[in-house]
């Protein structure tokens, strides 16, 4: 148990912070209930996928600046394909968009490996490219989403045999998030590939000398990042019903949550659970600020300050660790 | 025979071209600029005249100053993505404050956020060692938030463009844009600072080998903080110039200039990894991008395609420079 706590100390602390925040929320707004939790889960969804996308590449020792732009592109693609189309057509759209994210992510990795330009420059250039592509797909916010997709994240999960009061605290959005992340992450974590991703993040040279295919692993890490970003884009379309070609504030949020979640920016350390809990923490802070009747624009400033502070703190820790 | 020893072995043309470009990066840039202008002239005969040149220079100047911010930060291996927000903030504050205040007071108020954001950027990058990209992105988000809050406090008072800024931004005297009055001394100052002063040398040194620079007694954080404040102040000045040119204050005034400013510095031969480059190339890079934008507008290329093109330019030019450096 103590071993578990030591290894998962950071995540445990985050969970404690989350619970404290929930209690604070309940104190600020005694009426905070299951419905509000449901909307929190829905609000977290795109952020959580953005963070998952960032986490994979950061663990592999890189960084992906194109996450938000990738989400915008996949979102507008999904929205413009589904606009006016039949409900069944969406069954084809979803895998298509996911595959698109995977391929574009792989392209990121391929460019980094082939051109040997640092990841930060390649993904910055890709940010421009993907943003442009999103504007080409859809010039202004618009498009549509299939009803069953929208229904997938609204409401709660009906579990037979469970009283309604508990049932109400299980929003569908949370289930979608957990299922989507687990489907990719758990097999990955248990496979040789997952180990390779941690290995190249920890020390590329050591990994190379131990026979890890560094280039291939890096490409796959970026491809997985693209896949998660595509899920995030779909989540955006699902929750808003449209697609918007302008990337949201997901890039900075994803980096902040990764740092807060205990994933070292140098790579090789951490897991997916920490960053996901961190997203909930960051979003809940926002909810609390809103409940305190603070002007939404001021909320945005405070949120930005928190994220910058978190990133500064993370960089400081990394610097200390290196010395 | 000895003749084989005297004449050097023939170097392949490609290698020679690369060497030439690495040694004199300005010449191919100027050639590229001329080619673009010639293409423009062919597509629209007669478009290239005195008025067009003045116009192009007018629009290239704000871009060139912002690209100067990128050039200086890139020399240290950084980047400043907050320039767009800073320029917008100073422009917006100037336009709204000048209604009730003395222009000099309005100017000081307008430059305040620039200095502040530069200071925060500098401390974040220099002291806490946050990656410049993340840091400047964060401060630009905060700045945009502040601007939105500010906007509602002045919504009643309206905005106006000071005559002086309009004259500076749009005016043309004897065929020369008035903005050159600001730009020429500024550019000379930047070039002089980078090439001849200790501060400029320090920027190159930090970008080239940060560890060695620190070990030789340079206070890294002081250099970086001074750099980011300078960059922010330049961005603020650009904002004032740009509002005189565009004449419509908005909350996203200078945002569209951010990506091109990075691209202009990269095209101009400044290495995004630090230690290589200069401002002269950047100015030509800004001119090239402005002409390219005109060209793309004439070809009716949409905004999206333009962004894609800028992204690809950054990627390919960086990759090309990397190859050239590696070959040496």
Interface contact B314-A128, CB threshold 8 A: yes
* A10 within a domain of the structure (yes/no): no
- The CA distance from A303 to the nearest CA of chain B, in Å, is 8
On chain A, the residues whose CB falls within 8 A of the CB of B251 are none
Render pLDDT for A166-221 as a digit per residue (tens, 0 to 9): 777 778 888 888 888 888 888 888 898 888 999 888 888 888 888 888 899 999 99
pLDDT value of residue A5 = 54
**Distance, CA of B83 to CA of B69 (rounded, Å):** 8
Render pLDDT for A211-269 as a digit per residue (tens, 0 to 9): 888 899 999 999 999 999 999 999 988 888 888 888 878 887 888 888 888 777 777 77
Residues within 8 A of B (CB atoms), A 145-204 only:
none
**Distance, CA of A135 to CA of A132 (rounded, Å):** 5
Residue B230: pLDDT over 80: yes
Asked casually if ipTM beats, i.e. exceeds, 0.95, the reply is no
Q: Which of A105-114, A137-146, B36-45 has the lowest mean pLDDT?
A: A137-146
Render pLDDT for A44-79 as a digit per residue (tens, 0 to 9): 899 999 999 999 999 988 888 899 999 999 999 998
Residue B75's nearest CA partner among B244, B193, B219, B161 is B193
Q: Where are the domains of chain B?
A: 58-255
Task: Enumerate residues 6+ apart whose C-beta is below 8 A from A20.
Answer: none
User: Tokens 């140098």, residue?
Assistant: A266
Quick one: pLDDT band at residue B229, thresholds 50, 70, 90? Answer: very high
Which helix (H) or strand (E) covers residue B180, if one does? helix B179-196
Neighbours of B101 (CB within 10 A): 14
Q: Which of A127, A129, A311 faces B130 most closely, judged by CB atoms?
A: A311
On chain B, the residues whose CB falls within 8 A of the CB of A255 are 134
The answer to whether A299 and A293 are in contact (CB under 8 A) is no
Q: Which of B145, B273, B310 faces A128 most closely, judged by CB atoms?
A: B310
* A74 within a domain of the structure (yes/no): yes
Residue A96 sits in which domain range?
37-247
**Distance, CA of B69 to CA of B114 (rounded, Å):** 13
Q: Which of A133, A305, A311 faces B308 most closely, judged by CB atoms?
A: A133
Phi-psi region of A166 (alpha: psi -120 to 50; beta: other; left: phi over 0): alpha
Residue A231's nearest CA partner among A78, A127, A40 is A78
Q: How many domains does chain A have?
A: 1
- The CA distance from B313 to the nearest CA of chain A, in Å, is 8
Q: Look at residue A8 and give its three-state secondary structure.
A: coil
Phi, then psi, of A144 in degrees rounded to 5: -150, 180
**Distance, CA of B285 to CA of A214 (rounded, Å):** 36
Task: Please return the burial class of B305, using the count of CB atoms within 10 Å of its CB with bins 0-12, 13-18 and 19+.
Answer: middle
Q: Which of A128, A134, A308 faces B138 most closely, judged by CB atoms?
A: A308
pLDDT value of residue A239 = 85
User: How large is the C-alpha radius of gyration of chain B?
Assistant: 21
Average pLDDT of every residue of chain A: 84
The answer to whether A299 and A244 are in contact (CB under 8 A) is no
HSE, side-chain direction, 13 A CA sphere, residue B152: 9
Residue A291's nearest CA partner among A36, A44, A28, A41 is A28
Interface contact A251-B307, CB threshold 8 A: no
pLDDT value of residue B145 = 86
**B24: which DSSP letter?**
-
**Distance, CA of B27 to CA of B35 (rounded, Å):** 12
pLDDT value of residue B8 = 59
**Distance, CA of A252 to CA of A64 (rounded, Å):** 11
* A272 within a domain of the structure (yes/no): no
Q: Where are the alpha helices (DSSP H) in chain A?
A: 2-7, 9-28, 34-59, 67-82, 89-115, 119-137, 147-152, 164-167, 172-190, 192-202, 204-209, 214-240, 250-260, 273-291, 296-322
Interface contact B304-A136, CB threshold 8 A: yes
Both structure tokens of A208: 């190379």
* CB proximity B320 to A under 8 Å: no
pLDDT value of residue B6 = 56
* CB proximity B303 to A under 8 Å: yes
């Amino acid at each position: 148990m103590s071993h578990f706590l030591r290894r998962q100390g950071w995540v445990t602390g985050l969970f404690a912070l989350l619970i404290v925040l929930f209690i604070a929320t309940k104190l600020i707004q005694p009426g905070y209930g299951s419905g509000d939790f449901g909307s929190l889960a829905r609000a977290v969804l795109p952020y959580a996928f953005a963070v998952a996308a960032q986490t994979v590449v950061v663990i592999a020792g890189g960084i992906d600046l194109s996450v938000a732009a990738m989400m915008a592109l996949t979102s507008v693609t999904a929205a413009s394909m589904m606009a006016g189309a039949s409900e069944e057509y969406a069954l084809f759209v979803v895998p298509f968009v996911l595959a698109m994210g995977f391929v574009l992510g792989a392209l990121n990795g391929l460019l980094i490996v082939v051109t040997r330009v640092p990841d930060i420059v390649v993904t910055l250039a890709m940010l421009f490219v993907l943003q442009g592509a999103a504007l080409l797909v859809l010039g202004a916010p618009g498009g549509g989403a299939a009803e069953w997709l929208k229904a997938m994240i609204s409401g709660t999960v009906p579990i037979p045999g469970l009283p309604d009061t508990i049932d109400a605290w299980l929003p569908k959005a949370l289930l979608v998030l957990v299922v989507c992340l687990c489907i990719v992450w758990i097999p990955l974590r248990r496979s040789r590939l997952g180990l390779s991703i941690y290995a190249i993040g920890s020390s590329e040279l050591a990994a190379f000398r131990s026979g890890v295919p560094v280039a291939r692993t890096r490409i796959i890490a970026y491809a997985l990042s693209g896949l998660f970003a595509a899920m995030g884009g779909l989540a955006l379309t699902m929750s808003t019903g449209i697609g918007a070609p302008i990337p949201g504030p997901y890039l900075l949020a994803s980096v902040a949550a990764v740092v807060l979640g205990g994933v070292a920016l140098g790579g090789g350390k951490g897991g997916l659970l920490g960053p996901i809990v961190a997203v909930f923490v960051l979003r809940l802070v926002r909810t609390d600020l809103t409940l305190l009747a603070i002007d939404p624009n001021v909320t945005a400033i405070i949120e930005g300050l928190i994220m910058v502070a978190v990133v500064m703190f993370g960089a400081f820790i990394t610097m200390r660790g290196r010395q | 025979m000895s003749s084989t020893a005297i004449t050097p072995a023939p170097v392949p043309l490609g290698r020679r071209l690369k060497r030439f470009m690495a040694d004199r990066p300005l010449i191919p840039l100027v050639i590229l600029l001329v080619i673009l202008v010639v293409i423009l002239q062919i597509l629209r005969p007669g478009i290239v005249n005195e008025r067009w040149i003045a116009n192009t220079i007018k629009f290239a100047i704000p871009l060139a100053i912002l690209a100067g911010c990128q050039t200086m930060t890139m020399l240290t291996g950084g980047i400043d993505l907050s320039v767009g927000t800073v320029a917008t903030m100073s422009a917006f504050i100037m336009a709204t404050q000048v209604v009730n205040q003395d222009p000099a007071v309005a100017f000081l108020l307008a430059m305040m956020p620039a200095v502040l954001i530069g200071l925060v950027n500098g401390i974040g990058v220099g002291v806490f060692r946050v990656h410049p990209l993340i840091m400047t992105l964060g401060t630009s988000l905060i700045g945009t938030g502040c601007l939105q809050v500010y906007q509602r406090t002045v919504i009643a008072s309206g905005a106006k463009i000071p005559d002086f800024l309009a004259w500076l931004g749009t005016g043309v005297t004897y065929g020369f844009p008035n903005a050159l009055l600001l730009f020429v001394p500024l550019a000379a100052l930047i070039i002089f600072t980078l090439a001849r002063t200790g501060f400029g040398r320090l920027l190159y040194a930090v970008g080239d080998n940060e560890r060695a620079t620190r070990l030789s007694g340079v206070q890294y954080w002081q250099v970086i903080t001074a750099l980011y404040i300078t960059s922010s102040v330049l961005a603020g000045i650009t904002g004032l110039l740009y509002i005189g040119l565009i004449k419509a204050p908005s909350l996203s005034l200078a945002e569209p200039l951010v990506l091109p400013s990075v691209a202009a510095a990269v095209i101009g031969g400044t290495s995004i990894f630090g230690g290589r480059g200069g401002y002269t190339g950047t100015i030509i890079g800004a001119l090239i991008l402005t002409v390219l934008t005109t060209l793309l507008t004439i070809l009716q290329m949409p905004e999206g395609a333009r962004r894609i093109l800028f992204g690809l330019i950054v990627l390919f030019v960086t990759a090309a420079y990397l190859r050239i450096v590696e070959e040496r």
